[in-house]
Structures are given as structure tokens and as C-alpha cells.
Amino acid sequence: MIPGDSLDAAWWKRTTTYQIYPRSFADANRDGIGDLPGILEKLDYLQSLGVETLWLSPFFESPQADFGYDVSDYYAIAPEYGTMDDCRALIRQVHARGMKIVFDMVLNHTSERHPWFVASRSSRESPKRDFYIWRNGRRPSGKSPPNNWRSMLGGSGWHYDVRTEQWYWASFLGFQPDLNYRNPEVKAAMLGTVRHWLAEGVDGLRLDIFNAIFKDESFADNPFSWRAVPSETNPHGFFQRHVHTIDHPDTIAFARELRAVVDEFGDPPRFLVGEVFGDPATLQRYCGEAADGLHLVFLFATMRARFSGRAVRALVEEIERSFPEPFSPTYVFGSHDRPRFMHRVGGDRDKAKLVATLQLTVRGVPFIYYGEEIGMFNHDIPLHEGLDPVAARYRFVPQWLVRVLRKRGILLNRDECRTPMQWDAGRYAGFSHVEPWLPVHPESRSVNVAAQEGDPESLLCCYRSLLALRRESTALQAGTLEWIDAPRLPGDVVAYRRMHGEGASCDRADIFLNFSSHTIPLALDERAGRTLFSNRRGDRVPAPRSYALAPHEGVIVLEGRGSKPA
Ligand code: NOJ
Ligand code: CA
């Protein structure tokens, strides 16, 4: 499915990625929990949608206290998700379709039930003691934490262990103790798991909270800051700058070490995408000065971008500045941790189509979160009903504040964006035959795959035709990006040109995205062989001399290879 290697850009730079939260995608064995055989059954759908790379959230052995982000065995599959045979079949089947598969590696921490931690906490003399970060408490009694470091969720990240009378460090929740990467045995063991899954044929790894891997050896207090609430673009907060716990220089150096391991697995190359937080310029450092670090990092600034032409252009400009060739940015509008994107555009389908058009035509790797392609909504589930451990932690927060934070892109109950995939209008949305682990969204009766399949104006068909267009166009996959600053184009229209190749083999796509609620006339230069695609209808017509761009409409004018309909 991924076009041949005649292009100069590596496959992972040209690909389109789809995130599956396995627990919520499809339940094959009717226990209400999504599983690997369920994903296998839906590969036809994913292939017909046109996504090229699948990223699966973790499905390894785990007590599921954070639904898989607390691994107790990196070499085993949690039985509720399937077997090792299912896992291998999935890798095989994905490859048989010309697609790629990415697993989620939680390198930073394990579950507290991982045998390493069980041994580590059993005694100060355990050979595994130093696999985790243990410190004495502050004197005189040792009953207060070793320093002021706060976890990523606020509050001290230190946890007291009564038996051995020391504190262990956890960047996220207490049941997810951080591994000690300053211990060479730990590093070697975790690199072993990375090698293991790459040897099994996995094409890439998504790295969970990669920005937290190394903590400063000084264990000095983090400096005070007035900043209360961290964000995607600035992870400092809870009244401190997390200089000793986040983005440590040793973590950035480790990115290069990890890259070298991944590069051992040559042809085709594998890739790493890091979960890190900060402004694009800071995050770029993880990719290495010589592009020898992580291949990609998530850029979450898009999650918060205002729906306005000027804001979007400013953001893309900033991203382009920070990730020039040979670097490649990512475009992410939703995940299993954030409010669903449809929620942020107020359920407006045209706006959703416009953002999808941006995401799939701008220079970079798009990450589509499952259900985004049909416009799935957040499900308003009160904190006290949340199964999410983060919801439990913030149970005291009043619901009005939950709503305010959600508007700012912060989700305290992540169940809201993890509800079952909506396949059809059935009782359980075609996800399962029994009651699912999380409630199905009430809108599933009208918002579902089956209802949108045959509707050419649906969001699903818009994604499908955009993805098809991208596969045909080398300009959209690997072209340069230049702004089109036509004199009469208002600031609400974001316009850019993607271009690949030269002379007769030049492939070109001009993109015009109308973020305003007005119709805007476009003067197009009329050349033979150009075709125009509108995200409204999904079809392609010979490009006219002038075009009236409807409110929130996006069009792509193609010339060269990509202009010929398949
Ligand atoms: C980030 C993951 O995306 C999130 O879901 C998880 O809870 C934390 N890391 C801890 O692993
Ligand atoms: Ca199941």
C-alpha cells in the first residue's frame, strides 16, 4: 500500500498512522473487552480506510491498573487481549496487506506488580533494589519525601515503603514505579525488550513519557515557578520547573542510543516516535542534531490550536521552522489521553473535514485516533464513575472545573475519549455482543461506520478520499511546503503548495483551507491536466479558472502525477 521506494523520503516520513486503543476497538470473544482477534477482524476496514501504519496502545501482561500502561511482563500478552499467536498473526496480516504496525513501549516505568519491583521492594539488599529509584526520606525522621519533586499529575512523586523505610520515585501514578536507567543492567534489559519486538517484525515503537526517563543524579529540589497547570507545550507546573525530572540532557542523549539500537534492524527501517511535551523547538532536540535521535516526536500543540486561519498558519509556521528537512513533524488531533477532536469543533462536521484536510495534506506524519474518522464524540462520564486511575486521583474536582479543563484540552477522566468504537447502530455499537467495559456513546445510533459507509458526504468518506489522494500524490507524501500568499486571499484562508520532483516529473498540490464562515472567491491558474478535489464532495473535477470556496471548505488542486484519478 505504501508507494514504492522511488521517493527520496523514508517510508515512515510518508506514512499515515492510525492509533488503536485495543480495549475499545473490537471485541471478538464477547467478553466486553476489545482484543487482538477483534483488530484482526477489522483489518479490511482499516485497509479500505487507507491508513498505512497502525499504532496499538499496550496489550502486554499487566494488572490493568492503567489499562496496560503498567506492564508486568513485556514479553507476554495479557490474556484478555489474546495470545502470542494472535499477536504474531496480527503482525503477519498487517504486513500481508502492505501495512505497518507500531507497538507502544512503556520504558519509563513498570507496574508495581512487575517481578522486578516485587523483588526490589522486598528488601534493601535485593539484587533488584537498584532497578528502581530508592532514596532515604528527609531527616530527622525520614518520613518526609527526599526532595520537592512533583509527579506529572501534581503532588509528590515519591512513595514511602513501610517495609524498607525508603521512598521510591514514580513520574506518573504510584503503582507505576520508574525504572533506574543509571543502572546498566536496567538499560540493557529494556533495550532487550526493544530488540525482541523489533525482531518479531514490529515496524516502529511509540515511547511512553519518554521525556521522563532520566532523573538528575543530584536529587536537588526543582526550582519554584508560578506556573500552576502544565500543558502540552509547557510541561512545567504544580508550582515548579521540573528541570531535574523532565527533558534531562541524559534523556536526550538516550534518544540517540535507542536510535542506534533501532538502526540495527535495517531493511526496511523501523522508527521511534516519542511522547514528549513542550514547544516544537524544545522537542526537536529529541530528534538529534544530525537527525540521529528519535525519528519523530508527537507535537501536541495542534491539540490546542484555535480554529482560525491565522492561528493555524502561525502554528504550522512554527512547526516548519523547528522541523525543517531532514526532520519531519507530526500532526496529532486526538489520543487516548485528550478530549476528542470532534468535541473541540463543537460537533461541526464541516470543521472536522477541514482539519482532516489540513492534517492529511500538510508536511508531516498524521496520527488519526480511532473513531476520529467518523466524528466520535467525548462521552461525558462523571469523575466518580471513571475507571481511569487519573479520574480516581482527581475525584474531588467539581464537575464545572472538569468542563473548563476539558475545554483547555485537559481530560481528568480519560474514559471519556476511550469509549467503544462505533461500528453500527446496534445495542453495543457493533463493538461487542455483551455490555462493553465502558459505556457506548448514546450518539452511536447515528454516528457509526455503517451509517457513513454509503454516504459520500460523510466524514468517513472524506477521510477515505483524502487518504487515497495522498497515496497517489508524491507531493502530498514527500513534497516541500511553501505558503501561497496571493494578494486577495484573506488571512482566514490557509493556503500552501506541496511540491515534489522537477521538470516533467514535478508533482504539485495547492491547498486552500477556508477557516472562515464566509464564501471566498479563489482565482486559480487554469492549466491543462489540473484537477480540483473538494473535501465537501470527495470527487475530483477539472480545475476551473475561479472557484467559490464555501465556509469551512478545503480544496486541493493537483497537477502532475497526483492529478490523475486512480
Ligand atoms: C502516557 C500515556 O499516554 C497514558 O495513557 C498513561 O497513563 C501514562 N503515559 C503513564 O504510562
Ligand atoms: Ca474480548
Q: How far is the CA of 435 from the centre of ligand 2 (A)?
A: 11
pLDDT at 563: 67
Q: What is the pLDDT of residue 566?
A: 45
CB 336 near ligand 1, within 6 Å: yes
Residue 562's pLDDT is what? 66
- CA 451/CA 457 separation, integer angstroms: 11
- Whole-number Cα distances in Å, 519 to 308, 496, 554: 15, 19, 11
For 252-255, the CB contacts below 8 A with 24+ separation are 252/285, 252/286, 252/293, 254/181, 254/213, 254/214, 255/210, 255/286, 255/287, 255/288, 255/293, 255/294
66 lines ligand 1 (CB under 6 A): yes
Residue 532 DSSP label: E
Test site for ligand 1: of 60, 208, 275, 276, most ligand atoms within 8 A of the Cβ: 208
Residue carrying the nine cell digits 476520529: 372
47: its cell numbers: 485497509
Ligand 1 atom nearest 337 alpha carbon: 5
Q: What pLDDT is stored for residue 540 in this prediction?
A: 87
Would you state the pLDDT for residue 528?
73
Decide whether any atom of ligand 1 lies within 6 Å of the 391 Cβ.
no
What are the strands of the beta sheet with 134-135, ordered from one edge? 134-135, 166-169, 158-161
Residue identifier of the C-alpha nearest atom 2 of ligand 1: 208
Q: Of 5, 8, 264, 525, which one is the catalytic site residue?
A: 264
pLDDT at 503: 86
Residue ranges, the chain, pLDDT below 70? 1-7, 561-566
Calculate how far, in angstroms, residue 530's C-alpha sits from the geometric centre of ligand 1: 45
Nine-digit cell string for 468: 487515497
Any atom of ligand 1 within 6 Å of the Cβ of 463:
no
- Interatomic CA distance for residues 97 and 113, integer angstroms: 37
Q: Whose CA is nearest to atom 6 of ligand 1?
A: 69
DSSP H or E segment with residue 20: strand 17-20
Q: Rounded to 5 degrees, what are φ and ψ at 403?
A: -65, -40
- For residue 34, report the distance from its CA to the centre of ligand 2, in Å: 5
Instruction: Please indicate whether residue 264 is annotated as part of the active site.
Output: yes
Closest listed ligand to the CA of 33: 2
Strand partners, 240: 224, 237
Q: How far apart are CA 21 and CA 31, in angstroms?
A: 16
Compute the distance from residue 69 Cα to the ligand 1 centre, in Å: 6
Judged by its nearest atom, the ligand closest to the C-alpha of residue 23 is 2
Distance from residue 55's CA to the centre of ligand 2 (Å): 19
Q: Which pLDDT score, from 0 to 100, does residue 7 have?
A: 59
pLDDT by residue (tens digit) across 163-191?
Answer: 999 999 999 999 999 999 999 999 999 99
Give the pLDDT score at 248.
Answer: 97
> How far is 562 from 557, CA to CA, in rounded Å?
10
Residue 239, amino acid: F
Q: What is residue 431's three-state secondary structure? A: coil
Give this prediction's pTM: 0.96
Which ligand lies nearest the alpha carbon of 39?
2
